[in-house]
Chain A
């Protein structure tokens, strides 16, 4: 969680310095979701993520340097500089991308699960999406289709309470997302997304159930983003008091306190971790800085398998 936090703080700094451009959706505050869920998945499971996916990618095993280089737009980024912050990909880590059309990744996850089922593989496809995606038709279509065809998809809804700037109660008629999936016959549960231990346990159980039964499941992880939707906004849609209230539930601080209290860890250990993380981030920035810009001559690459022009 600390790796994600520090990577993103550095990203924010580099954004202000215009090293990173475009959109930059920070995950700060939501780290327990990505970390808990990724730890519960197996290496050969599939992951489909959203545009707020730096944390997922990092924990999934994409090196921090490749993530940073991608945000710089360098050729040594994990998507070759073609994707940027919102579109991190890794075929090796079965990381099927950051998707930036809300809800657009869900049918992809359905198809990946269909392929696995038809090939007789026992992978779980973990599909991450926000509360905003539950407004989209594709959410309902995907629940229906996976339930109908019994496809092994684990739907993980990261409910951070805002669809960009629209509060949950202002975009969802039923105040409880968890009520939706059962209408399609999909098992559904809600978990505290600020508690990394609870997240890991719940996702592990759900994933294993999907693996065993081949049927989809749904988990809502209630969380909160401490920062703006994308890098900076005027935050007209929520009060400072609310943000402060949630900051008290900071997943990193919670875990630290519990680990210290249980004497699983000492203050010195934390300092060591901080130092290691700082070095990793520093090296990541170096990696990005030293990366090459792809030649404009290669602009048309990766549009088709073979250049058509």
Chain B
């Protein structure tokens, strides 16, 4: 058993060892060891040239990562949280995503950007939001959300290898989880969704931190005789639409769980996909379990109430199958 953060670190080490073009930069990735202790120890091993502590200038260090990728490097940029990445959004939207297209295919930006996302630690409205759906709406970049320890490792390897800009969203509640991990396992394609728990009555579609809540909900539903299938989207862009439709074609019911606000969320996108591509498979209305439309509050009971929780998922599933 390995932790999520150790799995990422293992991937980082492997990349740094195997490819001299790879380097890591970001706020406090060096001496501090990373805000979530992901890169702890790497500075000592690889030195300041390849483990770079940046000033607090998200726009410019993300932009510099894009420039370094243009210049032939394979940068891994850590942005402390998605909330701070808003300062770099111009570089993402107006440079990383468009460079290949705008230059008629002459230039490419093989950058990997990692950042923490999600709520649950009582760190309030400027450190808790899930904004990965914003990124997932941009053509020209790819977006991954590892939910498991193995994926945390594998997806980073895939992102660095990819010729396009890849953004990895690590849910902050997952860094400490333990799970089975094989550093030498054959890499599965990170762009495909996975069935984490097979079932026949209802599909629980989730990604990142919500996958674990969906798994718990599936176990509870099982006790009540409802067989739930848990789908881990894994890649948020491109979205594995065939896998989503296939699951609902088996279960005919869909609950979409997303820690973002419901309006304009990935849950909306998944729901629209089902309405477009699996309409005649639906035996009940699609339901979305998302975060309430408020900034994430500090107080624990309020934060809990704002976020999608297992009971809400169970209830939505029961309502969907007609036992609610």
Direct contact of A and B (CB under 8 A): yes
Residues of A within 8 A of B (CB): 46, 77-83, 87, 89-91, 96-97, 99, 101, 104, 106-116, 118-119, 137-138, 141-142, 144-145, 148-149, 301-305, 308
Contacts between the two chains (Cβ within 8 Å), count: 142
Chain A residues within 8 Å of B64, by CB: 107-108, 110-111, 114, 145
Residues of B within 8 A of A (CB): 23, 49, 52, 54-55, 57, 59-73, 75, 90-91, 94-95, 99-108, 139-140, 142, 162-164, 238
Q: List 24 A-B contacts (CB under 8 A).
A: A79-B102, A79-B104, A80-B104, A87-B102, A91-B107, A96-B70, A101-B95, A104-B94, A107-B61, A107-B62, A107-B63, A107-B66, A111-B66, A111-B69, A112-B70, A114-B71, A115-B70, A115-B72, A119-B73, A138-B63, A145-B54, A145-B55, A302-B103, A302-B105
- Whether the pair A106, B100 counts as a contact (CB closer than 8 A) is no
Known: A101-B95, A110-B60, A119-B73. 14 other contacts (CB 8 A): A79-B102, A89-B103, A89-B107, A101-B94, A106-B63, A107-B62, A108-B64, A111-B64, A111-B68, A113-B67, A114-B68, A141-B59, A303-B101, A303-B140
Chain B residues within 8 Å of A145, by CB: 54-55, 57, 60-61, 64
- Whether the pair A304, B140 counts as a contact (CB closer than 8 A) is yes
Bound-complex Cα distance A140 to B185 (A): 45
Bound-complex Cα distance A79 to B100 (A): 10
- Whether the pair B70, A89 counts as a contact (CB closer than 8 A) is no
Q: Choose among B52, B101, B102 the residue with the greatest number of A CB atoms under 10 Å from its CB.
A: B102
- The 8 Å CB contact of A111, one of B67, B106, B142, is B67
- Whether the pair A107, B102 counts as a contact (CB closer than 8 A) is no
- Whether the pair B68, A112 counts as a contact (CB closer than 8 A) is yes
Given contacts A111-B63, A303-B140, contact A87 B103 (CB under 8 A): yes
- Whether the pair A90, B106 counts as a contact (CB closer than 8 A) is yes
Q: Choose among A109, A112, A302 the residue with the greatest number of B CB atoms under 10 Å from its CB.
A: A302
The 5 tightest CB contacts between A and B, nearest first, are A111-B67, A107-B63, A115-B71, A80-B104, A89-B103
- Whether the pair B59, A107 counts as a contact (CB closer than 8 A) is yes
- Whether the pair A79, B103 counts as a contact (CB closer than 8 A) is yes
Given contacts A77-B104, A107-B63, contact A118 B73 (CB under 8 A): yes
Q: How far is the CB of A305 from chain B (nearest CB, A)?
A: 4
Given contacts A114-B67, A115-B67, A118-B23, contact A107 B60 (CB under 8 A): yes
Q: How far is the CB of A236 from chain B (nearest CB, A)?
A: 29
Q: How far is the CB of B87 from chain A (nearest CB, A)?
A: 8
- Whether the pair A305, B71 counts as a contact (CB closer than 8 A) is no
Bound-complex Cα distance A109 to B68 (A): 9
Q: How far is the CB of B263 from chain A (nearest CB, A)?
A: 26
- The 8 Å CB contact of A82, one of B60, B103, B142, is B103
- Whether the pair B66, A89 counts as a contact (CB closer than 8 A) is no
Q: How far is the CB of A100 from chain B (nearest CB, A)?
A: 8
- Whether the pair A112, B71 counts as a contact (CB closer than 8 A) is yes
Chain A residues within 8 Å of B62, by CB: 107
Q: How far is the CB of A303 from chain B (nearest CB, A)?
A: 5
Chain A residues within 8 Å of B61, by CB: 107, 145
Bound-complex Cα distance A34 to B69 (A): 26
Chain B residues within 8 Å of A90, by CB: 106
